Amino acid sequence: MLAGPVLDAAPRLLGATFTHGGVTVRLTEVEAYAGAEDPGSHAHRGMTQRTAVMFGPPGRLYVYFTYGMHFCCNVVCGPEGEASALLLRAGEVVDGVELARSRRPGSSDRDLARGPGRLCKAMGIERSDNGLDLAEHLQLAPRAGDVSAGPRVGLRLAAERPWRFWVTGDPTVSRYVAAKPRPTRSG
DNA sequence: GTGGGGATTTACT
DNA sequence: GTAAATCCCCACA
């Protein structure tokens, strides 16, 4: 049961607070990536320089760059060598709101960290934070509300696995958008 | 050394 | 709702 530990950790992370760059966020949405066996995970093709952090010990931050302009961050949750992690998809800014606003001008408070790329931007997370030890950044807390589960977002492989978890009814949870097929540039 | 794809967001219609 | 923006990473030769 490789997926076991990650899927178990997901509900516990919801409601927890994550502090970085002077901003504190209450996590409302996460997404599980369960090791090398998971076709949707970056770790699927084995350890590379980029995914090395995922294969390392739990409790560290895995940051990656995507679509040429956005960072996304994960919390490594599985034991060392398993490469399981939870993508932090959304949260509510509960402290450092002004700093978050300055990083995301034009955004409403509700949208400050509503989405993985937005969350990283609001918190000032970037490539240099890859591998960061989260021991003093993550604070588990009692969760207000129930947890829902559903399909993952944005993936073209194994997206149907119900490994996205969110706080039921929370307004800062991102809207589900199915992966869009990309047109080939060859035409 | 080169080519193709990606765990997204934003602006415009 | 649809389209565009844009760097990095990985696989192959």
The pLDDT tens digits for A32-77 are 999 999 999 999 999 999 999 999 999 999 999 999 999 999 999 9
What is the arithmetic mean of pLDDT over A23-40? 95
Distance A181 CA to C4 C1' (A): 15
pTM greater than the 0.95 cutoff: no
The CA radius of gyration of chain A, in Å to the nearest whole number, is 16
Question: Is the C-beta of residue A117 closer than 7 Å to nucleic acid chain B?
Answer: yes
Question: Is the C-beta of residue A177 closer than 7 Å to nucleic acid chain C?
Answer: no
Question: Is the C-beta of residue A144 closer than 7 Å to nucleic acid chain B?
Answer: no
What pLDDT shows up at residue A66? 96
Distance A3 CA to C10 C1' (A): 25
> Over chain A, what is the mean pLDDT?
92
Domains located in chain A, CATH noted: 6-167 (3.10.300.10)
Question: Is the C-beta of residue A69 closer than 7 Å to nucleic acid chain B?
Answer: yes
Parallel, antiparallel or unpaired: strands A147-150 and A164-167: antiparallel
Question: Is the C-beta of residue A151 closer than 7 Å to nucleic acid chain B?
Answer: no
Instruction: Answer whether residue A183 shows pLDDT above 60.
Output: no
Q: What is the 3-state secondary structure of chain A?
A: CCHHHHHHHHHHHCCCEEEECCEEEEEEEEEEEECCCCCCCHHHHCCCCCCHHHHCCCCEEEEEEECCCEEEEEEECCCCCCCEEEEEEEEEEEECHHHHHHHCCCCCHHHCCECHHHHHHHHCCCHHHCCCECCCCEECCCCCCCEEEECCCCCCCCCCCCCEEEECCCCCCCCCCCCCCCCCCCC
Of all nucleotides in the shown strands, which has a C1' nearest the CA of A120? B8
Distance A93 CA to B8 C1' (A): 20
Give the confidence band of A3 by pLDDT, cuts at 50, 70, 90: low
Nearest residue (CA) to C1' of C9 = A50
